[in-house]
Amino acid sequence: MIFETKRLLKQKEDNTKEFERYGKETIISKINTLKSTPSDDNYRDEFNRIVCTTADNLNVSLPKAELLVKIEIEKNITEQDIETYIFNLLSERKIKQLKSTLQKNAQKLGNIDKALTLTSIQYEIDKIKTDKVWGSDKFEKIILNGLYGENINLITMLCLINEFDYSGVYSSNPDLYSYLKNPKLEAIPLIVNEMLLLPQFLEFYGIQSNLTVYIADTDYTEIGEFGPVNAKNIKNIQDYIKNVQGYLSDFQNVAVLPISQITENNELYNSVKYDITEKVKSFKDYDFSREWYQKFEDDVERRFESQTKRKIFSKNEIRQKTLELTRSIWACNAAQGVVLGTLDPNTILISTERRERDVNYTIDNRSRENFPPVLYVLKAAENWNPKIVQKVT
C-alpha cells in the first residue's frame, strides 16, 4: 500500500502542476485571440478596444487599464476554457504530426496508398492505446508485412478469476460473469470483447490475422501464487478455459489455450526457468544484480503486502513464502518471455497488464531481441471497479 500510495501522490502532484501550466497558457491564448480579432471601430483589435474603453470608464492610464483587463480575463477563466484550449492545442499538434508521419511513410514506402493506410492505422492505434507501444519499430514492420499480405499472429495472456476470503481460503472461479455479482473480480467478457476489436480493426484495413488467447493456468499450477494446489481448483481452471473457449466459439481464427500447453516439457522454458531461479536466489551475477536486484526487492515488498491481506500463509512463514513465491514468478515469467519470442516473427502481444509488469518477460537476455512488440489497448483487470461495471452493463 505504501508503494502504491507514493506513486499515486506523485502522479497527482504532476497533474496539478500541468493543469496550472495549461491555465496560464489559456489566459495568454485568450489575450492573443482578442489581439488578432479586428475591431469594427478605430481601436484596431478587440483587446485594444477593451483596454481603451476600460481606461476611459475608470479614468486610469492605459498601462493600468491593460493590467486590469488581464486580471479580469484571468478571473473569468473556467475549467471548460482550459479543457477547450487543451483540446485545440492537441488537435493542432496531431494534425502537424499526421502530416509529418504521412510524408515520412510516403518517402519510406514509395507508395502513397500504402502510406495513407499505414498513417491511418498509426493514428487509430494512437487513439486507443493506453501506453506507448513496446517495440514500436518492430510493431510498424509487422503492420507493414500485414499490408503486403502476410498474416499477423496476435496473442494475449488472460488471467484467471481469483477469489479470496482474506481468511486464508482461495478459489478459482470458472464463471465469466461473476463480476456482475462481485465487481472486484475481473470483468472477463468486457476484457475479451475489447481484445476482439483489434483483429476486426486490422481486417477493416485488409490485414489478415489470428488471435490466440493464452490462459495463465501456471500462475496456480506451477507458481503456486494462490497457495497449495487442490483438485477442486484444478477442475475450476479447466472449466474456466472451456467457458472462455465457448464464449469465443463464434469467432473465426481465435484459439484459447492454457499457457502450459507451450511451456510444459519445453526444454528452452525449463532451462531459462532454472537459470533465473538460481540468479534470484543469490544475485551473485554482477550485471544481473545491477539491473534487477532493486526491482526484485520492490516486488517482494509489494507481494508481501498482498499476501499479508490474503492470509494464505501463517504469520511466521509469510515473509519466506513471499520471497520464494516472487522467485518463482520471476523465473516463470522470464521463461515465458523467451518462449513467446520463438513464436511467428509476425507476432504482436496485446497486453492486459501494466507495462511495469510486462518487463518481467525480458528478465532473461535471450528474450530481449526476439520478444514480440506489445500493444497496450486494454485496461489492467484490477482497474475494473463497481462504477465502471455498472456503466458498461
Do 162 and 381 meet the contact criterion of CB atoms below 8 Å apart?
no
> Which neighbouring-strand residues pair with 255?
212
Neighbours of 323 (CB within 10 A): 16
Predicted confidence at residue 383, as pLDDT, reads 55
Question: 212-237, pLDDT tens digit by residue?
Answer: 999 999 999 999 888 788 999 999 99
pLDDT at 386 over 80: no
Residues belonging to the chain: 393
The owner of cell 469594427 is: 40
pTM: 0.75
Domain extent, residue 365, equals 131-392
The two beta strands, 152-158 and 162-164, are: unpaired
Number of domains observed in the structure of the chain: 2
pLDDT at 389 over 50: no
Percent pLDDT > 70 in the chain is 93
Predicted confidence at residue 380, as pLDDT, reads 45
Band of pLDDT at residue 264, cut at 50, 70 and 90: very high
Angle, helices 62-75 vs 2-35, to 10°: value is 140
Q: Mean pLDDT throughout 353-378?
A: 89
Predicted confidence at residue 388, as pLDDT, reads 43
Same domain? 194 vs 263: yes
Predicted confidence at residue 12, as pLDDT, reads 57
Same domain? 159 vs 278: yes
Chain mean pLDDT for the chain: 88
Same domain? 69 vs 165: no
pLDDT at 165 over 60: yes
In a domain, 82, yes or no: no
- For residues 170 and 220, give the distance between their C-alpha atoms in angstroms, rounded to a whole number: 11
Same domain? 61 vs 137: no
Same domain? 71 vs 187: no
In a domain, 105, yes or no: no
Predicted confidence at residue 11, as pLDDT, reads 60
Question: 279-335, pLDDT tens digit by residue?
Answer: 999 999 999 999 999 999 999 999 999 899 998 888 899 999 999 999 999 999 999
pLDDT at 166 over 80: yes
Closest CA to 340 of 352, 349, 331, 328: 349
pLDDT at 339 over 90: yes
Do 331 and 277 meet the contact criterion of CB atoms below 8 Å apart?
yes
In a domain, 21, yes or no: yes
Q: Mean pLDDT throughout 103-125?
A: 87
- For residues 200 and 315, give the distance between their C-alpha atoms in angstroms, rounded to a whole number: 49
The two beta strands, 162-164 and 170-172, are: antiparallel
pLDDT at 18 over 90: no
Same domain? 386 vs 241: yes
Helix locations, the chain, DSSP H: 2-35, 46-58, 62-75, 79-109, 112-128, 136-147, 188-204, 218-221, 231-247, 260-263, 267-282, 286-310, 318-340, 355-358, 386-392
- For residues 152 and 372, give the distance between their C-alpha atoms in angstroms, rounded to a whole number: 12
Predicted confidence at residue 263, as pLDDT, reads 96
pLDDT at 5 over 60: no
Predicted confidence at residue 16, as pLDDT, reads 77
Closest CA to 365 of 294, 259, 293, 292: 292
Percent pLDDT > 90 in the chain is 51
pLDDT at 42 over 70: yes
- For residues 24 and 252, give the distance between their C-alpha atoms in angstroms, rounded to a whole number: 52
Same domain? 138 vs 69: no
Same domain? 182 vs 253: yes
The owner of cell 531459462 is: 272
> Which neighbouring-strand residues pair with 134?
374
Q: Mean pLDDT throughout 93-121?
A: 85
Same domain? 68 vs 163: no
Predicted confidence at residue 8, as pLDDT, reads 52
Residues 6+ apart with CB under 8 A from 61: 55
In a domain, 87, yes or no: no
